[in-house]
């Protein structure tokens, strides 16, 4: 009987050894590993939001998707594709769908500006997004939120607190916030559509606000009762990402909000004065997250975390990704 068992075991071993190896699923940590690695899709709405990202990385020839240029490359050691969704919910949904079909990203990050009750130049990272009148909350991926917290604790450079008003003006006044901006973690963000379901058209050569493409670096001179940050795109990008099962988070820096040295002027005056300052800070926070992904991939002690990310065990991975210190501001705590 023992001989029969040994014979059966031998046959099983030979059979198993002949089976093709099953490749491990690709995960976020793999986005640091060569040209064939998966990519993180980083999107913004208008050119001024994408410009600081393009200036901070190394990018290849753009790929045109729905008449928009997307730039494959490397940012903070991570393979990314950066591009513009266009302004508004309609553009955000259509462009995100097209970019997912083209690039099959391993994760999505949105980097840009927003209105908020928080201070101007702070970067607000919401854990949920909602789109009135649906009022259905779309949760941000737990692991991406944890990576954003870790990245905020070790930003690649300090957040900026001064801006030339108006942006890019050779004769404008330098306005500095009377505080050091922070990355704030909030509960609820809201995306609304003031355009009534109409796609907002960009303008070729329309500049950093209304243009169609990210400019080259040389061109750049428990639920809250009300949303803490509000924009016109993020909720749609979050919805499309959730539909495709792609982890998502958004970095939205405050362009019109509290703390304005020139007075509580609201939108649009604050937006037109501080959009570039806030876009720069959103980009710095985005780079902080990507830097943390690269660090994670290079850390021999983080293999278990990378495996959890690859297996899409987001909550378990998030628990292992708690920030190394409690220094990061958490507005919702």
Residue 168, both tokens: 């890019």
Give residue 134's pLDDT band: very low, low, confident or very high (50, 70, 90).
confident
Neighbours of 182 (CB within 10 A): 20
Give residue 10's pLDDT band: very low, low, confident or very high (50, 70, 90).
low
CATH T-level topology, domain 25-159+181-266+278-320: Rossmann fold (3.40.50)
Amino acid 229: pLDDT: 93
Amino acid 13: pLDDT: 47
Distance CA 278, CA 291 (A): 20
Amino acid 2: pLDDT: 56
106-110, 164-168, 303-307, range with the lowest pLDDT? 164-168
Distance CA 88, CA 107 (A): 21
Please identify which residue in the block is written with the tokens 């200036």.
55
pLDDT at 17 exceeding the cut of 60: no
What residues form DSSP beta bridges with 82? 42, 71
**pLDDT tens digits, 112-132:** 999 999 999 999 999 999 998
- Average pLDDT for residues 226-231, to the nearest whole number? 90
33 or 115, which is more confident: 115
Amino acid 19: pLDDT: 45
Amino acid 31: pLDDT: 95
22-36, 76-90, 249-263, range with the lowest pLDDT? 22-36
Give residue 52's pLDDT band: very low, low, confident or very high (50, 70, 90).
very high
Give residue 8's pLDDT band: very low, low, confident or very high (50, 70, 90).
very low
Amino acid 6: pLDDT: 58
Residue boundaries of the structural domains of the chain: 25-159+181-266+278-320
Mean pLDDT (the chain) is: 89
Q: For residue 226, give the nearest of 93, 69, 116, 68 by alpha carbon.
A: 116
**pLDDT tens digits, 70-113:** 999 999 999 999 999 999 999 999 999 999 999 999 999 999 99
pLDDT at 224 exceeding the cut of 90: no
Burial of 77 by CB count in 10 Å (0-12 exposed, 13-18 middle, 19+ buried)?
middle
Question: What ranges in the chain are assigned the alpha helix state H?
Answer: 2-18, 47-56, 89-103, 142-152, 207-210, 234-243, 269-298, 303-310, 314-320
Amino acid 307: pLDDT: 96
- Average pLDDT for residues 119-147, to the nearest whole number? 94
Q: For residue 247, give the nearest of 191, 301, 332, 317 by alpha carbon.
A: 317
- Average pLDDT for residues 30-45, to the nearest whole number? 91
Give residue 333's pLDDT band: very low, low, confident or very high (50, 70, 90).
very low
Q: Which among 21-25, 26-30, 93-97, 129-133 has the top mean pLDDT?
A: 93-97
> ω before 268 within 30° of 0 (cis)?
yes
Q: Are 91 and 193 in contact (CB under 8 A)?
A: no
116-125, 201-210, 240-249, 322-331, range with the lowest pLDDT? 322-331
């Amino acid at each position: 009987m023992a001989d029969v068992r040994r014979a059966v075991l031998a046959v099983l071993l030979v059979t198993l050894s002949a089976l093709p190896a099953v490749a491990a699923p690709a995960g976020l940590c793999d986005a640091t590993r060569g040209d064939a690695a998966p990519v993180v899709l980083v999107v913004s709405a208008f050119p001024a939001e994408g410009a600081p990202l393009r200036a901070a990385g190394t990018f290849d020839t753009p790929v045109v998707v729905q008449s928009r240029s997307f730039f494959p490359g490397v940012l903070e050691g991570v393979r990314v594709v950066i591009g513009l969704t266009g302004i508004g919910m309609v553009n955000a949904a259509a462009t995100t769908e097209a970019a997912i079909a083209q690039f099959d990203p391993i994760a999505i990050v949105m980097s840009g500006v927003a209105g908020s009750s928080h201070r101007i130049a702070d970067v607000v990272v919401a854990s949920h997004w909602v789109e009135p009148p649906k009022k259905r909350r779309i949760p941000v991926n737990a692991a991406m939120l944890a990576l954003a917290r870790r990245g905020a604790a070790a930003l690649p450079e300090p957040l900026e607190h001064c801006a030339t008003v108006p942006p890019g003006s050779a004769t404008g006044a330098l306005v500095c916030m009377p505080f050091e901006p922070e990355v704030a973690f909030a509960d609820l963000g809201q995306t609304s559509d003031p355009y009534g379901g109409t796609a907002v058209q960009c303008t070729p050569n329309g500049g950093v606000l209304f243009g169609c493409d990210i400019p080259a670096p040389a061109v750049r001179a428990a639920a809250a009762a009300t949303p803490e940050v509000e924009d016109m795109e993020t909720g749609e990008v979050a919805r499309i990402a959730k539909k495709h099962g792609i982890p998502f988070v958004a970095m939205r820096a405050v362009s019109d909000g509290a703390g304005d040295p020139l007075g509580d002027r609201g939108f649009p005056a604050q937006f037109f004065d501080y959009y570039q300052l806030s876009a720069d800070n959103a980009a710095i926070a985005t780079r902080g997250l990507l830097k943390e992904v690269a660090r994670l991939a290079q850390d021999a002690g983080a293999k278990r975390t990378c495996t959890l990310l690859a297996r899409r065990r987001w909550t378990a991975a998030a628990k292992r990704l708690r920030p190394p210190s409690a220094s990061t501001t958490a507005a919702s705590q």
